[in-house]
Amino acid sequence: MLVLASASPRRQELISVITKDFIVCPANTDESYDENVPVSSVPELLAVRKAAVVSKDYPDDTVLGFDTSVIVDGKILGKPTDFEDAKRMLNLLSGKTHQVITGCAIFKKGKTLSFSQTTDVTFYPLSEKEIEDYVATLEPMDKAGGYGIQGYGSLLVKEINGDFFNVVGLPVGKLNKMLKRI
């Protein structure tokens, strides 16, 4: 059995491209990290932590943990805490290229395989009105970096370099290859 250690409906939709045979068991873990850890390593570290916690309840199954971070100017942007925080994040991303890194961890009967995938995303320069209109859709409120590329947020994106589905939160192609390896 495949166990998805994530409550994300987007990840559930994407994992169903690989298999329909999975269950969802969100990981309840601490997402803090040591400030000395390079920001590019944080998503994989958190993905491993999430898979490890859930694998304790499912030791005979394959457990998948994920964490997606938006990184701009060397800083991780998590999910916005409120509308003002979403606006702040979108202002930081406006007219710039940032990285979206999804960390993935696979735990299967004592074996662990983890990796991360990076995609560069460039935003158009955004006006205050464009930012306010986007935040008013409520779409940014539950997404790392305050935007969802698969929805209204696609209107903010000038270009991407890398895996589109990684930006959504699950690098489907690479995960499929890694599942076959383990």
Using alpha carbons, select from 112, 94, 9 the residue that is nearest to residue 55: 112
Query: Where does the chain have alpha helices with state H?
Result: 9-18, 42-55, 83-93, 128-136, 164-168, 172-181
- Is there a catalytic annotation at residue 61? no
Report the alpha-carbon distance of residue 124 to residue 157 in Å, rounded.
6
Residue among 30, 60, 67, 85 flagged as catalytic: 67
**Which residues carry out catalysis?**
67
